[in-house]
Amino acid sequence: MTRVAAPTISVIVPVYNMGRYLPDAVASIEAQGFESIEIVVVDDGSTDETPEVLASLGDRIVAVRHANCGPAAARNRGIETSSGELLAFLDADDLWPAGKLAHQLQRLEREPELDVVLGRIQYVALEGGELPDIEYEDRDAKTLTHVHLGSGLYRRRAFERIGTFDESLRFSEDVDWFFRVREAGLRVVILPEVTLLYRLHDTNMTRELTGRDALMLGVLKKSLDRRRAAGIDGDLVAWRALDERAPVLPAVSVVIPAFNADRYVRDAIRSALTQTHTPMEVIVIDDGSSDTTGATARHFASRVRVIRQAHQGIGAARNRGIHEARGELIALLDADDLWERDKLARQVALLERDPTLDLVFGGVEQFVSPELDPPTTPVRYVSSSTGRIASAVLMRAAVVARVGPEREDLGLGEFIDWFDRAIAAGCRVSEVEGTVTRRRIHATNTGIRLRGSRGDYARVFKDVLDRRRSAGGTRP
């Protein structure tokens, strides 16, 4: 194998009772092909065969042993012992894929201002291990993008600037460190390549962890306290904004309001994420659901941003999502509807061809949800080539400032009202040919669930007529 000369890289491997996995982890580091590399293994007081395994590795590694203090202390000891200007971390039961260091070192050499280069994580189940029940970026390869120390390559200066790991934390010490990275404004990039093989087995540290959410809340509180003390206002940079698997431009934000929609929201989100024009972000507003809607949406991990609020209705949920959106274009998708795969691509193309357009719709096809029995379901099957429903629209973000938010005092008809105000404001509207949205008919459609609010439609239509009279009756 050709050895590659490189700046000294120190790889820190904390190990606690994982001796049986350690040789494979070390081998995956050595297989990277770098001569100028230092492997520091810190035995955190193991009581298994780890000491014997360490001895068998000989001078291939720098071995350190101390009393059990937890992973944060073990990693800090490794940092103190190491000599490289570049640092990397690998848990003893995980592996690095071939080329991991080459990809990341190339970026750090090309961009001296970068502090941290991360990558994607591939989940691998060993005997006795279970893959987590989440929605993967690649459902076959089981890959995800999220914060994990083992996926990165770091300049030592990053630790000199923000400090090492908080040894008071036995868990989530890595999440805490990454919060400090964002608080300090360090330069970070996430590569499209897989840079860590995360192995699941019957003795993973987090398998026995209880109170995980409480620990994460504690880490978040620490971050909020630091930000208040430093006078840092606003949200931290979102990790997805650092991801180099960039969305197709122009950037589209997808807003999905959801209330007790756990039965359908997964399919809606999938139909957004699998668009041929990849959206920049998908935002799910969990409008005070009492079912598992929020948990279902969070199965998509970093690919979906889930925001929970007290139940206020669909208008308020859409308004919140649009307020949070960062895209140049905004698409709305109700949690029980579906998009055709090229929905965004066709509508974006029309907006780009005609910069004077503000909103683009497309055809809508109704379908009966599979759990219903069509023969006993009174549905009028209607396909419209110009469906003026929220799930069929793509609009420029600037339109919202021009028209204003949706009304929040309506249970029904809020989008009809908003669209009429858009026309009254002079917004230009067009549509693409063919179906873009499939509207689901099911037992809990808003119109059925809120049948007692049908008077809202009368209020909306009265307001529409009033606006048209004020405009001299010139609008259709």
pLDDT, tens digit (0-9, with 9 covering 90-100), for 286-323: 999 999 999 999 988 878 999 999 999 999 999 999 99
Q: Is the pTM of this model over 0.75?
A: no
Which region, left, alpha or beta, applies to residue 71 given φ > 0 means left and ψ of -120 to 50 means alpha? alpha
Average pLDDT over residues 150-158: 97
The CATH class that applies to domain 246-470 reads alpha beta
User: Please, which pLDDT band fits residue 471 given cuts at 50, 70 and 90?
Assistant: low
Q: Flag whether pLDDT at 463 surpasses 70.
A: no
> Alpha-carbon distance 188 to 29, whole Å?
22
Residue 405 and residue 425 in contact, taking contact as beta carbons nearer than 8 Å: no
What pLDDT does 235 receive?
Answer: 77
Residue 385 and residue 365 in contact, taking contact as beta carbons nearer than 8 Å: no
Of residues 113 and 35, which shows the higher confidence score? Answer: 113
User: Please, which pLDDT band fits residue 380 given cuts at 50, 70 and 90?
Assistant: very low
Q: How many CB atoms lie within 10 A of CB 62?
A: 17
Nearest-5° Cα angle at 139, 135 to 144: 60
Q: Flag whether pLDDT at 149 surpasses 90.
A: yes
What pLDDT does 208 receive?
Answer: 45
Helices and strands of the chain, counted as H and E runs: 15, 17
**Fold classified for 9-230:** Spore Coat Polysaccharide Biosynthesis Protein SpsA; Chain A (3.90.550)
What pLDDT does 5 receive?
Answer: 59
> Alpha-carbon distance 367 to 187, whole Å?
47
What pLDDT does 211 receive?
Answer: 47
The DSSP string of 91-121 is -TT-BPPTTHHHHHHHHHHH-TT--EEEEEE
What pLDDT does 133 receive?
Answer: 81
- State both tokens at 396: 């420029």
Q: What average pLDDT is seen over the chain?
A: 88
Of residues 42 and 379, which shows the higher confidence score? Answer: 42
Q: Is the bond leading into 250 cis (omega within 30 degrees of zero)?
A: yes
* Tens digit of each residue's pLDDT (9 = 90 or more) over 118-143: 999 999 999 888 888 888 888 788 88
Amino acid at 40: V
Nearest to 17 by CA among 82, 75, 71, 78: 71
* Tens digit of each residue's pLDDT (9 = 90 or more) over 410-424: 878 899 999 999 999
Residue 203 and residue 256 in contact, taking contact as beta carbons nearer than 8 Å: no
What pLDDT does 346 receive?
Answer: 97
What pLDDT does 35 receive?
Answer: 83
> Where would I find the H helices in 193-246?
212-230
* Tens digit of each residue's pLDDT (9 = 90 or more) over 51-90: 999 999 999 899 999 999 999 999 999 999 999 999 999 9
Residue 91 and residue 150 in contact, taking contact as beta carbons nearer than 8 Å: yes
Cα dihedral: 328, 333, 338, 344 (round 10) = -10
Of residues 214 and 190, which shows the higher confidence score? Answer: 190
Cα dihedral: 306, 328, 180, 90 (round 10) = 80
- State both tokens at 329: 């274009």
> Where would I find the H helices in 289-413?
293-298, 314-324, 343-353, 398-403
Using a pLDDT cut of 70, give the percent of the chain over it. 86
- State both tokens at 85: 């200007």
The residues near 187 (Cβ < 8 Å, ≥ 6 apart) are 111, 113, 114, 115, 116
Q: Flag whether pLDDT at 433 surpasses 80.
A: yes
> Collapsing DSSP states into helix, strand and coil, what is residue 88?
strand
> Alpha-carbon distance 65 to 321, whole Å?
50
What pLDDT does 202 receive?
Answer: 82
Tell me whether the CATH fold assigned to 9-230 matches the one assigned to 246-470. Answer: yes
Which region, left, alpha or beta, applies to residue 125 given φ > 0 means left and ψ of -120 to 50 means alpha? beta
What pLDDT does 127 receive?
Answer: 83
> Where along the chain do its domains lie?
9-230, 246-470
Nearest to 258 by CA among 299, 286, 295: 286
C-alpha to C-alpha distances, 129 to 107, 198, 405, nearest whole angstrom: 34, 11, 48
Q: Flag whether pLDDT at 437 surpasses 70.
A: yes
Tell me whether residue 387 is exposed, middle or buried, using C-beta atoms within 10 angstroms of its C-beta: 0 to 12, 13 to 18, 19 or more.
buried
> Collapsing DSSP states into helix, strand and coil, what is residue 124?
strand
- State both tokens at 210: 């209880």
Q: How many CB atoms lie within 10 A of CB 404?
A: 13
> Alpha-carbon distance 163 to 195, whole Å?
24
What pLDDT does 1 receive?
Answer: 46
What pLDDT does 446 receive?
Answer: 64
